Amino acid sequence: MNLIKKITWVFLIILVSIPALLPLTRQGFFPTQDFIHVARIYEMDKALKIGQFPVRWVPDFRYGEPTFDFYAPLPFYLGSLIHNLNFSFLDTTKILFGLSFLLSGLAMYLLSKEFFGKVGGLISATLYIYAPYHSVDIYVRGALSESLALIFFPLIFLTAFRLTKEVNTKNIALTALSFGGLFLTHNVMTVLFTPFALGWLAFLVWRERNLKLIKPFGVSLLLGAGLAATFMLPAFFEKNLVQSDKMITGYFDYRGHFVEIKQFFSTFWGYGASLWGPEDGMSFQVGLVHWAVFGLSLITSFVFFKNKKQLYLILALAAAFLFSLFMQHNKSTPIWTHLSLLAYTQFPWRFLGISIFLVSFIGGVLGTVFKKKLVILALVLIVATVYFNINFFHPESYYLDSIDAHYVGPEVLANGDKLPKDYLPIWVQDLQRDRIIFPHTVGGEAIISNYQNNSTSAQFQAKVTKDADIEVPLTYFPGWQASANNKPVNLETPDKYGLIRIKLTPGDYNVKLTFLDTPIRSFGNALSIVSLVTIIGLLAMKKFKFKPWLT
């Protein structure tokens, strides 16, 4: 019977989410501000199929780039899995967008239910799914990874709270997995949400008056970071090897993208860009229903809550919500100036992802009041949330003839002008040249044949008749190693095009190039393996009733 009840509530959330999901079921694809995620899924799938793991090097972006050394890979591992269930890359992308709506709603339901009951959970889930910024992420920006990060906000809060109720190895492991999932899903949202997550942990310690919770929280956080170390360590320690300055200059300077207070309340909707000043082409509203729910939740909390723990919870969440809005306003500039890492956020309005999470969570409190009219109140709120926001949940238009070949493939991705330059190695200073597809001499004389390029390896034969300087159509980046007739060969300093070069004396050679992990990448891999084994062990200890020695 309990299982049937659980399935019923899950079914209700799926039912509520259907209007938001329907536009994803239409034929073709739709324009968004970012469509490179389709190509990233394609490249991830291609790399996995030739045995690259963890995937770091993307072979078809120009002459190859270390994209997944710096761009969180989890959504694209999942995308490869879905694609191999016989879905096209475009349909895979739409499925991932749909999972953002559905799984974030389910996660929010589970969190809010812990505090406000099942009806409160359903209210929070509906608010979260139909927050206007959720549609901005998917139908306007096409921000695949950022939209999937919304799933982990409620999961982190939920698993941490359950850990306060029962300190055991299972809850430690689940909290670690929640943190690790966020860390592996989106770089920027990890930076923005981590302070709020730490604040939540501190609040729970204070709420329970139990300093002993610091230990399991710390273990969970360390294990989550360890799980993501294979990505996080190279992303941090090797960031000086790519042209990351392009991420924070010009259009991407955060100082041009603050939000005015009136924009949080405006019902304007558009599919344009974020512009300098208040005349943006896209919406930064919180949502009128969400504002109404926020106000009503505060009032009812003060009037009806006799339990101080519940009242303190709402006040803490409200303070965090207002702070998330403050960080989007130019009055927060001193904080942005002193915390230089925030510059990589690019757009202060990305805090809206946290804002809609917090205001939706707060809205669940309405599920605990007016008990005799509970179902009616919940129904009114749910219908109102969908009704007043559903017009935001669709693309501007559709490309009915879209196919994978329009977005992916070596020929499409070789066009450097259409690709982001965020993770272009620092040695690439000029992209304007005729594309080369085979190794060639830039000095000396050599006949080159049988060139083969297999993502993280390449080889060719060279018959050198005069000391030759050979350029290979592969972007230079630390980790590439070369050998000639199985003997190591030094890589020369690239010219302004950033391609690998080697020098050979006269003779016949079998040249091989291989992309390997640097020490920091290898250390990250090892740390992730240890953390994963530890997490699995903690889950097994709970299952087999071993003593929870970490608690």
Dist CA 11 CA 377 (whole Å): 20
Average pLDDT, the chain: 90
What pLDDT score does 544 carry? Answer: 56
* Letter string b/e over residues 258-279, b meaning 16 or more CB atoms within 10 A of that residue's CB: bbeeebbebeeeebeebeeeee
| Better-scored residue on pLDDT, 106 or 442 | 106
Give φ, ψ of 63 to 5 degrees.
-105, 20
CB-based contact 124:170 (threshold 8 Å): no
Phi, psi of 222 (to 5 degrees): -65, -40
Using the CB atoms, write b or e for 244-257: b if 16+ within 10 Å: eeebeeeebebeeb
For residues 400-425, average pLDDT: 75
Other Cβ atoms closer than 10 A to 437: 11
Give the single-character DSSP code of 111: H
Residue 152 CB-density burial (10 A; 0-12 exposed, 13-18 middle, 19+ buried): buried
Please write the tens of the pLDDT for every residue from 431-462.
767 788 899 998 898 999 999 988 889 999 99
Report the 3 state secondary structure along 484-520. Answer: ECCEEECCCCCCCCCEEEEEECCEEEEEEEEECCCHH
* pLDDT(550) > 60: no
Q: What's the gap between Cα 17 and its chain centre? A: 21
pLDDT at 474: 93
3-class secondary structure, 375: helix
Q: In the beta sheet, which residues pair with residue 86?
A: none
441/334 Cα distance (integer angstroms): 53
Q: What is the mean pLDDT of residues 504-530?
A: 95
Task: Match 């604040």 to its residue by tokens.
Answer: 199
Res. 363 pLDDT band, cuts 50 70 90 = very high
Domains in the chain (CATH in brackets) are 2-392 (no CATH), 440-516 (2.60.40)
Q: Which of 243-257, 338-352, 533-547 has the lowest mean pLDDT?
A: 533-547
Q: What are the distances in angstroms from CA 522 to CA 65, 231, 441, 539?
A: 19, 11, 34, 26
Q: How far is the CA of 81 from the CAs of 29, 95, 413, in angstroms? A: 20, 12, 22
CB-hemisphere CA count at 13 Å for 124? 31
Buried b (16+ CB within 10 A) or exposed e, 67-89: bbbbbbbbbbbbbbebbeeeebb
Residue showing tokens 């956020």: 345
If pLDDT is split at 50, 70 and 90, which confidence band does 276 have? Answer: confident
Examine residue 54 and say whether the peptide bond preceding it is cis (omega within 30 degrees of 0).
Answer: yes
CA–CA gap between residue 504 and residue 463 (Å, rounded): 10
Q: Assign 480 to helix, strand or coil.
A: strand
Q: Tell me how far the alpha carbon of residue 504 is from its chain's centroid.
A: 44
Indicate whether 371 pLDDT > 70.
no
pLDDT in tens, 67-105: 999 999 999 999 999 999 999 999 999 999 999 999 999
pLDDT band per the 50, 70, 90 thresholds, residue 370:
low
pTM for the full model? 0.93
- Spatial distance between the Cα atoms of 177 and 534, rounded to a whole number of angstroms: 11
Contacts of 131 (CB under 8 A, 6+ apart): 286, 287, 290, 356, 359, 360, 389
Q: What is the pLDDT of residues 207-248, one digit of tens each?
A: 999 999 999 999 999 999 999 999 999 999 999 999 877 778
pLDDT at 187: 93
Buried-state track 334-344, b at ≥16 Cβ within 10 A, e below 16? eebeeeeebbb
| Backbone CA torsion sign across 148, 150, 154, 156 | positive
What is the C-alpha to C-alpha distance for residues 289 and 308, in angstroms, rounded to an integer? 27
